[in-house]
Structure 1
């Protein structure tokens, strides 16, 4: 289902950075920007406008409302801002950052990144480009990825509540004569709610999908580069260390929803995709991206042998039966 990246390696390597590919800002889709803040804004307005909150804040109510309307937006913006000098491509945080679906590199950041490596710069540029191509091919073949991630983020956002006790404590420390005290409150952790079971489930879904995406890209790119790129394995390790140290994806999702992405999970996802390609073939592996219900679950990554023993054919058969049944019911009605 997903066109193997290896098909395009030869042509890609003859012209790694197309003419006119210049550094520039990445356009964040409005859907991504709007989905999460809107969910949380509703909770902010409800809490900040309540009688209990008014009693807490007293004369500072107006100022608190003004702050509250932008608190989460500021937090979101800071999370995105942290990656502006680090993101290497449109897909570097694990999801597409542009609506066009076209591959794109932030050349200035790529150049700065590879200068710190003890690896051939040309090889590094090739590898970064191949990663971007692999991401974009996957996103094009499985367009449901973005909607699944946004749905999980929205599920998490719906559970975000303001800790009025924390705000009350922060308000008592404000010195009206000292504007710096207001800045300190704005930069402090006012939102540290106890996560609900629904939020924990949403975080688990997000981490799993991001791990499966990164694992697939890692395996496909390294295999595609193969003997053509002597530094492929070394560069694979570079990106693993980058994620472990906190890359753009880790910073964005960590700052946005507190997600702690485990490097081990991504290594395990890579191992699953590699094993599946070796035992069942590339086509069977890539066909799992044809529907979200076919993707490996957390338990599958925990026990790869059991997952491979079950085989993807059973899952495909069940999905086909469900589709046929739904089609028949629709025709009868």
Structure 2
């Protein structure tokens, strides 16, 4: 069996993208001219957001972002881009799995299993495809056959942005610029720290080493967790699944926990930093920003029971906490040593905060001298 031929078959990436496209809810009804206007508006406002990101962050990378591109996409295109990103991130994991289970995974079994996992991944992406407003995607450029620029691409999901601005009944131009400020900040982060993409991939690879090495134990934990969920009535329960997401709570090995802790700190930093940029924008830039913040935050608090359950299962509520925790960290550091002092965080991997330092900014400041 050729490991490099079998491993990619463990997840049918094309089926995942096709399934997500088929299952994604329809977007808002737009006349052709409305759709064209929304696309043109988002492209224009994405460009307009960059000088504000530069002014607030002081990051020189914001002055020249030609190493990546901005794409205004629909839900299906967003899902396809993410299957490409997952293919890059999970490639080493799948290869290791095939190497460890070589006697158990035949090519035909890989293809059959790949169809199942591809469909399952597509269903998850379909659920997410109408939630995401934008995303900086740095990994798809490394996928086989990708035409993305080497540094990645910024995706703005037009149907979702239009749908939310209508639900909130806010000024479209203001809301679109507000969204672009957050997403362009992520693009600037990776441009300022060109080592960041490979560093995250290395952390994922280290985590996969541990997971593959403890596969039997992990399966036992997964079975126990599934039984716990099955036997436990969750309707109306404030915390039906573990607070960090069922997947993360399966990790018990110290090396697994350390890898997840480091990745959590990185994500908290990136999301919190982008939130700080958004919060630094006042009415002089986005006239209705106060209304947008109030209505957007209120919307996030009014999810249905089923959606809340799925979000917890996928760990999405943990991601929302990353916005808050990371923003507190960034603000605290900037208050103590200024934005220039904070920006040394992008110089090298050793300058990244630990998860403990995210909650104790003074410890990071002390470590940085």
Does structure 1 residue 205 correspond to structure 2 residue 262? yes
Q: Secondary structure at the match of 1:90?
A: strand
Cα offset, 1:46, TM superposition: 4.1
Cross-structure match for 1:134: 185
Question: Which string of whole-angstrom CA distances, capped at 9 and with x for unpartnered residues, describes residues 281-320 of structure 1?
Answer: 2121122111121122222222223444x273x2xxxxxx
Cα offset, 1:225, TM superposition: 4.4
TM-score (norm. length: structure 1): 0.62
Cross-structure match for 2:253: 196
Q: 1:263 aligns with which of 320, 325, 329?
A: 320
Counterpart mapping for 1:79-228 below 5 A: 79-91=124-136, 99-100=148-149, 101-158=152-209, 159-160=211-212, 161=215, 163=219, 195-225=252-282, 227-228=284-285
Tell me if structure 2 keeps the 8 A contact 1:96–1:139: no
Q: Secondary structure at the match of 1:296?
A: coil
Give the number of the structure with larger relative contact order, counting CA–CA contacts within 8 Å between residues 6 or more apart. Answer: 1
Give the whole-Å Cα distance in 1 for the aligned partners of 2:71 and 2:354.
41
Give the whole-Å Cα distance in 2 for the aligned partners of 1:20 and 1:298.
32
Give the whole-Å Cα distance in 1 for the aligned partners of 2:298 and 2:180.
18
Cross-structure match for 2:87: 33
Question: Which string of whole-angstrom CA distances, capped at 9 and with x for unpartnered residues, describes residues 56-81 of structure 1?
Answer: xxxxx998665445555444444434
Give the whole-Å Cα distance in 2 for the aligned partners of 1:270 and 1:166.
33
Alignment CA distance shift 1:263-1:252 (3 Å): closer
Which is higher, the Rg of structure 1 or of structure 2?
Answer: 1
Tell me if structure 1 keeps the 8 A contact 2:271–2:322: no
Cα offset, 1:240, TM superposition: 6.2
Q: Secondary structure at the match of 2:134?
A: coil
Question: Which string of whole-angstrom CA distances, capped at 9 and with x for unpartnered residues, describes residues 101-126 of structure 1?
Answer: 45442212210122221433332111
Aligned residues: 265
Q: Secondary structure at the match of 1:281?
A: helix
Give the whole-Å Cα distance in 2 for the aligned partners of 1:279 and 1:267.
19
Give the whole-Å Cα distance in 2 for the aligned partners of 1:276 and 1:65.
49
Q: Secondary structure at the match of 1:83?
A: helix
Tell me if structure 2 keeps the 8 A contact 1:277–1:284: yes
Structure 2 gaps, min length 5: 1-49, 58-69, 142-147, 224-245, 305-309
Q: Secondary structure at the match of 1:115?
A: helix
Give the whole-Å Cα distance in 1 for the aligned partners of 2:203 and 2:290.
33
Q: 1:277 aligns with which of 322, 334, 337?
A: 334
Q: Secondary structure at the match of 2:156?
A: coil
Q: Secondary structure at the match of 2:128?
A: coil
Does structure 1 residue 290 correspond to structure 2 residue 335? no
Structure 1 gaps, min length 5: 10-18, 54-60, 168-188, 315-333
Tell me if structure 2 keeps the 8 A contact 1:41–1:72: no
